[in-house]
């Protein structure tokens, strides 16, 4: 039966027709979950993030959900580098997910060694790494353009709230926005 279902050629045509007829008559079809478990892979994508709150993350989550409708999505949370390393170690060793989205986190060398062992597709969001598909926004250019636009409108007292630099995960977004802000002010002088 599995040979017929999986399209193998080492099945006689008579047997293939008989199996397909029984599947149709009984309205019983192979379970993709059972098939995936036998291959030790599921149609599961993991999302690893340090936070799950705020409009920005929710918009990203909504977009991911729309694109990954045919997958089960598992959220992995890690509040510090040690938790994240342990989560990555577990996910890589279990070898069950088809893909892993790492959200807003610099990849440390020990994590990189773990990820290289993974058979899952790895995508980075809001961070960049030359070995992985990376989707990120250039925060320095964005801040520069925003502040430049405000200056062009005639505003002169422009503040920035960039947050404190996040050292736990080397998350440079606030620092990059501050650079763009300063550059726009300097350029306008």
The answer to whether 74 touches 45, Cβ cutoff 8 Å, is: yes
Which of the four pLDDT bands, split at 50, 70 and 90, describes residue 35? low
Q: In this model, does residue 36 exceed pLDDT 50?
A: no
**Phi and psi torsions of 53, nearest 5°:** -115, 165
Instruction: Match 């149709």 to its residue by tokens.
Output: 24
Regarding pTM above 0.75, the answer is no
| pLDDT number for residue 78 | 84
Of how many residues is the chain composed? Answer: 189
């Amino acid at each position: 039966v599995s040979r017929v279902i999986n399209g193998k050629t080492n099945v006689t045509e008579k047997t293939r027709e008989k199996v397909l007829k029984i599947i149709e008559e009984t309205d019983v079809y192979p379970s993709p979950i059972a098939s995936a478990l036998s291959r030790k892979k599921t149609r599961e994508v993991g999302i690893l993030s340090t936070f799950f709150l705020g409009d920005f993350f929710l918009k990203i989550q909504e977009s991911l959900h729309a694109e990954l409708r045919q997958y089960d999505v598992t959220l992995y949370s890690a509040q510090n580098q040690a938790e994240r390393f342990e989560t990555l170690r577990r996910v890589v060793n279990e070898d069950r997910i088809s893909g892993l989205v790492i959200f807003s986190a610099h990849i440390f060398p020990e994590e990189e060694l773990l990820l290289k062992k993974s058979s899952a597709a790895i995508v980075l969001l809001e961070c960049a790494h030359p070995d992985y598909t990376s989707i990120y926004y250039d925060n320095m250019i964005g801040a520069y353009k925003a502040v430049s636009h405000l200056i062009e409108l005639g505003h002169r007292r422009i503040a920035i709230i960039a947050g404190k630099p996040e050292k736990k995960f080397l998350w440079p977004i606030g620092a990059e926005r501050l650079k763009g802000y300063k550059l726009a002010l300097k350029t306008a002088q």
